[in-house]
Amino acid sequence: MKKKAIINTRILDPRNNIDEIGGILINDSGKIEAIGKKVTKENVSNAEIYDCKNKVSIPGIIDMRVFVGEPGFEYKENFRTLSQAAVSGGVTGVATMPNTLPLIDNVSTLDFVKRRSRDKSIIKIFPMATLTKGAKGLDMTEFGLLKLRGAWGFTDGTQSIQSNKVMDQIFNYGKNTDILIIQFAQDNELSENGMINDSLQATKLGLKSIPESAEQLIIERDLRLLENYNTKYHIALISSKKSLEIIKNAKDRGLKFTVGVSINNLSLNENDIGDFKTFLKLSPPLRSEEDRLALIDGVKQGLINVIVSDHKPEDEESKRLTFQQATTGASGIESLLSLGLELVHNGSCDLNTLIKNLTSNPAKILGIRNGTLSVGSEADIAVFDLNKPWVFKKENIKSKSKNTAIEDRKLQGKVEKTFINGDLAFSE
């Protein structure tokens, strides 16, 4: 590989507190050799030059909640199409959910996913395994063995552990094995058959709702149990102001855990559903504007640590149904950064905080060396134009499924180049 140099760019690396104009020199092994003001066109004469004046260069984005349809749902997404979608959005690594067919609750399926992703994916895949066999919330999977074979964390993905006893066992076992436990917090009874936020909007549309308390009950229960154990615990997604208050109280008591939020819940509210827009049938549901603003404040305060796409590709046949019949979820990996930049442009969030939640924070939680531009690290880099206006069109989506929640949305800020291990994986 020939050396490459990204020059005249704004380098933003929250992990190393870098925000300056300079360059990034990539060596012939695909790693960062030098970074900063000293990297200029004059002193990298043998390198392939990428002049990125007026662009921002950040570590490749790590998306901690991505559903890939392989195995079992390849008609919705596969590793190849996921990679294409990811790099167009500056994403170079993803944690994949275990809700495949079969589920990733055993070593043989995990091995298959690892082989398949190695052969077909150009981005880095960090597969999750389920917490319980069949994601039924009853019997724990073999955490130790699965971790040894390459599971980066454990979650039942779209399912939540309902049993207090099972969750207590999981925390207890996790304490001794140093595993990452990720919980999707939703009480099954309170959310049964629910589709949207419990509010006037649900009454108006005549749809069964999911109350905020369905999320809060599980979070409160888990945090009470967590007090007894020193276990790595991550709440996959929160959607309400009240959940944030519970989290703040727990963190004030000294509990150690981390929290994620979907970019959808930071950028949209329940009113965007309009007249039964099924592409906005999401889990957790979009909630009130007050909730959305509270979540943004949670990001700024550091109560929320990670912003994810919650990329869940679904074929049109699964979405173009009545609201009651439509499948939950939306494709979103390629618009994750641009939607996040909306928060920067409207003054809701500073750029460094946004990038931190997309790069170094998820890398730290997953325990991986990515999410940084440190010298010696793999050259996974996204370059974007902070001010470039564009419209997110369905026909330009690279994911195999086109179920976006933001079709025809006007955005400001677009990824123009993505490097993985020093190779140019995407260029607009």
Q: How far is it, in rounded angstroms, from Cα 211 to Cα 201?
A: 12
**How does residue 231 score in pLDDT terms, banded at 50, 70 and 90?**
very high
Q: How far is it, in rounded angstroms, from Cα 330 to Cα 278?
A: 10
Q: How far is it, in rounded angstroms, from Cα 250 to Cα 255?
A: 6
Arithmetic mean of pLDDT, 313-319: 87
User: Tokens 């003001």 label which residue?
Assistant: 37
Arithmetic mean of pLDDT, 341-351: 97
User: Tokens 């531009």 label which residue?
Assistant: 373
pTM of this prediction?
Answer: 0.97
**How does residue 315 score in pLDDT terms, banded at 50, 70 and 90?**
confident
Side-chain-facing half-sphere of 318: CA atoms under 13 Å: 18
Q: Which residues are catalytic?
A: 310
Q: How far is it, in rounded angstroms, from Cα 127 to Cα 65?
A: 10
CB 235 within 8 A of CB 261: no
Question: Of all helices (H) and strands (E), which one includes residue 144?
Answer: helix 143-148
Structure tokens at 71: 């195995």
Q: Is the pLDDT of residue 163 over 90?
A: yes
Question: Worst-scoring range by mean pLDDT, 43-47, 111-115, 267-271?
Answer: 43-47
Side-chain-facing half-sphere of 367: CA atoms under 13 Å: 11
Q: How far is it, in rounded angstroms, from Cα 98 to Cα 134?
A: 10
User: Tokens 């999750």 label which residue?
Assistant: 128
Arithmetic mean of pLDDT, 21-43: 97
Q: CB-based contacts of 43: which residues, under 8 Å, 6+ apart?
A: none
The confidence score (pLDDT) of residue 138 equals 97
Q: Is 255 exposed, middle or buried (0-12, 13-18, 19+ CB in 10 A)?
A: middle
Structure tokens at 154: 């454990």
Q: Is the pLDDT of residue 338 over 90?
A: yes
The confidence score (pLDDT) of residue 319 equals 84
Arithmetic mean of pLDDT, 346-354: 97
For the chain, the average pLDDT equals 96
Q: CB-based contacts of 391: which residues, under 8 Å, 6+ apart?
A: 408, 409, 410, 411
Q: How far is it, in rounded angstroms, from Cα 44 to Cα 237?
A: 44
Q: Is the pLDDT of residue 55 over 90?
A: yes
The confidence score (pLDDT) of residue 101 equals 97
Question: Worst-scoring range by mean pLDDT, 85-89, 118-122, 315-319?
Answer: 315-319
Question: Worst-scoring range by mean pLDDT, 257-266, 287-296, 396-405, 419-428?
Answer: 396-405
pLDDT, tens digit, 9 for 90 and up, residues 391-400? 999 999 999 9
The confidence score (pLDDT) of residue 176 equals 82
Question: Worst-scoring range by mean pLDDT, 4-18, 86-100, 142-156, 190-204?
Answer: 190-204
Q: Is the pLDDT of residue 316 over 90?
A: no
Structure tokens at 173: 């076992």
Percent of the chain with pLDDT over 90: 92
The confidence score (pLDDT) of residue 120 equals 97
Neighbours of 56 (CB within 10 A): 22
CA Rg value for the chain: 21
The confidence score (pLDDT) of residue 210 equals 96
Q: CB-based contacts of 340: which residues, under 8 Å, 6+ apart?
A: 263, 266, 307, 349, 354, 358
Q: Quick one: DSSP state of residue 133?
A: G
Arithmetic mean of pLDDT, 363-369: 97
Structure tokens at 305: 């640590």
Q: Is the pLDDT of residue 172 over 90?
A: yes
pLDDT, tens digit, 9 for 90 and up, residues 376-391? 999 999 999 999 999 9
Question: How distant, in Å, are the alpha carbons of 14, 152, 184, 240, 267 from that of 170?
Answer: 33, 16, 14, 26, 33
Q: Is the pLDDT of residue 320 over 90?
A: no
Can you list the alpha helix ranges (DSSP code H) found in 142-194?
Answer: 143-148, 164-177, 188-191
Q: Is 4 exposed, middle or buried (0-12, 13-18, 19+ CB in 10 A)?
A: buried
**How does residue 347 score in pLDDT terms, banded at 50, 70 and 90?**
very high
Do β-strands 124-129 and 4-13 pair in parallel, antiparallel, or remain unpaired?
unpaired
Q: Is 87 exposed, middle or buried (0-12, 13-18, 19+ CB in 10 A)?
A: buried
The confidence score (pLDDT) of residue 276 equals 84
Arithmetic mean of pLDDT, 8-31: 98
CB 117 within 8 A of CB 125: yes
User: Buried b / exposed e across 97-118, counting CB within 10 Å, b at 16+?
Assistant: bbbbeebbbbbebbeebbebbe
Q: Is the pLDDT of residue 107 over 90?
A: yes
CB 126 within 8 A of CB 68: no
Question: Of all helices (H) and strands (E), which one includes residue 264?
Answer: helix 263-267
